[in-house]
Amino acid sequence: MKVFITGASSGIGEALAVYYAAQGATLGLVARRADFLHGLNERLGGGHACYPLDVTDAPALHDAATDFMQRFGAPHVVIANAGVSSGTLTEHQEDLAVIRRILEINVFGMAATFSPFIAAMQKRGSGRLVGIASVAGIRGLPGAEAYSASKAAAIAYLESLRLEMRPSGVKVVTIAPGYIETPMTAINPYPMPFMLPAKEAARRFARAIERGTSYTVI
């Protein structure tokens, strides 16, 4: 099995990498922090492909995807997990740049992750394109305007992509997590109900991915 994961250096992405490596998968690991990526690869026994890049850099993602497919073949699962969150308030002029950056990473970065793999997966007639959305995309959260909007956009984007991919046999899986124990949630100063450890979340994500579930809230 071959799995390509963005945002792999920490949190959910790291937990998914650990899970799939334990199943014997060959991984393509993408994140901005090269040292974290290579450290993860070593912990997983080496042999996986590391691509230090920003998911908003579509040409770099294309080159990474091309390299991965030349070395290992088309992946069975592509997980667009890279995402960021930050408190934003529209009335603050300085927050506009933050809003743009969040939307670029969380929405455009997802499309840029999938794009290089689609033709090869369609030709094979199988595979999973997995987008990590959020329950924040279902109901906007105060002070998280950009994050909530980006996850709502991700859900709609994935729905459209699912309909486009259906005739080819490639399944599009939307996962909308609640609170997961990650560095992203560790800074939240408020109660977070139904918090899941990242390891358990990864197990549940993988189960939904294997089933090809169209949409699931975890």
CA distance linking residue 134 with residue 200, whole number of Å: 16
- Marked catalytic residue, from 19, 51, 147, 157: 147
- 147 catalytically annotated: yes
CA distance linking residue 9 with residue 150, whole number of Å: 21
Closest CA to 171 of 203, 126, 111, 107: 126
For the record, the structure tokens of 181 come out as 């124990």
Query: Rg of the chain's alpha carbons, rounded to an integer?
Result: 16
For the record, the structure tokens of 38 come out as 């290579």
CA distance linking residue 25 with residue 37, whole number of Å: 16
CA distance linking residue 29 with residue 17, whole number of Å: 8
Closest CA to 203 of 16, 52, 10, 66: 16
CA-to-CA dists, residue 45 to 18, 34, 75, 126, 218, angstroms: 11, 17, 20, 28, 29
CB atoms under 10 Å from CB of 187, counted, come to 9
Half-sphere exposure of 5 (CA within 13 A, CB side): 29
Looking at residue 80, its amino acid is A
Q: Which residues are catalytic?
A: 147
